[in-house]
Amino acid sequence: MIEDIALTEDQEAFRASSARSFAVCHGQSARDIAARVAADGSLAVMADPAVGGLGLGAGVAWLVTRAAGAALLSYPMAEAIAAAWAAEGLIDGTLIGTVGIAFDGIVRGTGVNTRLSGVAANIVSAPSADRILIAAPEGVFMIEATQTGVAISPSIALDLERPYGDIVLTDTPALRVGDPDRLIQLYGTLRAADMLGAAEAAFSAACGHASGRRQFGKPLSGQQVVSTDLARDHYRLECVQTSIAYAALAWDGRYGDLADACDVAVALAGEMLPLVVENAIQIHGAMGFTWEMSLHRALRRVRSAAAVAPAAAARQALAARCIANWAAV
């Protein structure tokens, strides 16, 4: 039984505060946005109170990244919150942090002698980041963008507002800061929430357009095919929202099936949310593809985010655990 998915008053207040803050950030540089979101506490939402953080957990943090997605914030909010949870020095906005979970390489040494060599691909806002957390099987490792052995190059991605990049590491000194599973699960949940926010904004625009646009003497929403599509998209959004909220609570320790919950959230977000945004564009007709509309920006955002950790991989991991559990019975 999921008895505590509904938002509390404090959660709703934090979400609303973040939404107001992000709404005025359009057109600002990543540095300016970093200073603003640091001032309103968004970066510190999950950081340890011992280092100045709020320690509110994933149950609040996912609401912040959801608001960032709705505002199409050109700042790596999900990555920054996850990085600030795992490593110190990232909550005051002076440094931009991001996360890489696709590392193909080797880890040598331990402690202060740890070195990384390989490629971390498809990292959100890597070209503008100061501090990058790399998740490898041996642990989570922190590197500085300017240190020896780090080469960052832009990578091809649909999202033009948050440039993606590939990082080549050559015998790069690195500091181990945590457990890879916890970071990957947190990041996947927060990234899915960002996608949800963007899709919800697109869905809201589609509903508004369908209600106001008239064809053949009645609102576009009066057409059965349109109303059916909107109802289906509402269902998709509800499914994804519930899965993300559950995964966030599982990450906070409310439920025990953390790995399954996070994989379900990532899989549903990657499969369902692009369809919601694509349908919003379809309902708007030709104007939905224009630069003046924000719908294509939302589609770029959710498609690019879904590519970081494909839904198929999450489904496969979930299926593998289910099969293993059945075999053990």
Tell me the average pLDDT across 255-276.
94
Tell me the average pLDDT across 301-319.
88
Looking at the chain, the domain(s) classified CATH 2.40.110.10 span: 97-179
- The percentage of residues in the chain with a pLDDT greater than 70, rounded to a whole number, is 95
Looking at the chain, the domain(s) classified CATH 1.20.140.10 span: 181-328
Tell me the average pLDDT across 282-309.
89
pLDDT of 2 above 60: no
pLDDT in tens, 123-143: 999 999 999 999 999 999 999
CATH superfamily to which 97-179 belongs? Butyryl-CoA Dehydrogenase, subunit A, domain 2 (2.40.110.10)
pLDDT in tens, 138-161: 999 999 999 999 999 999 888 988
Helices 58-70, 77-86: inter-axial angle, 10-degree rounding: 160
User: 240 with 192: CB under 8 angstroms?
Assistant: yes
User: Residue 129 has what pLDDT?
Assistant: 95
User: Residue 138 has what pLDDT?
Assistant: 94
User: Residue 222 has what pLDDT?
Assistant: 63
Higher pLDDT, 311 or 253: 253
Using pLDDT thresholds of 50, 70 and 90, give the confidence band for residue 16: confident
Helices within 161-257 (DSSP H only): 180-212, 224-251
Mean pLDDT of the chain: 90
| pTM exceeding 0.75 | yes
pLDDT in tens, 25-68: 988 989 999 999 999 889 999 999 998 999 999 999 999 999 99
User: 259 with 179: CB under 8 angstroms?
Assistant: no
Tell me the average pLDDT across 77-95.
93
User: Residue 91 has what pLDDT?
Assistant: 93
Using pLDDT thresholds of 50, 70 and 90, give the confidence band for residue 216: low
Tell me the average pLDDT across 17-31.
90
Tell me the residue length of the chain. 329
d(CA 265, CA 244) in angstroms, rounded, equals 5
CA distances from 82 to 76, 78, 200, 243 (A): 10, 6, 22, 19
Q: Which CATH class is domain 181-328?
A: mainly alpha
d(CA 58, CA 245) in angstroms, rounded, equals 9
pLDDT of 217 above 60: yes
Tell me the average pLDDT across 107-117.
92
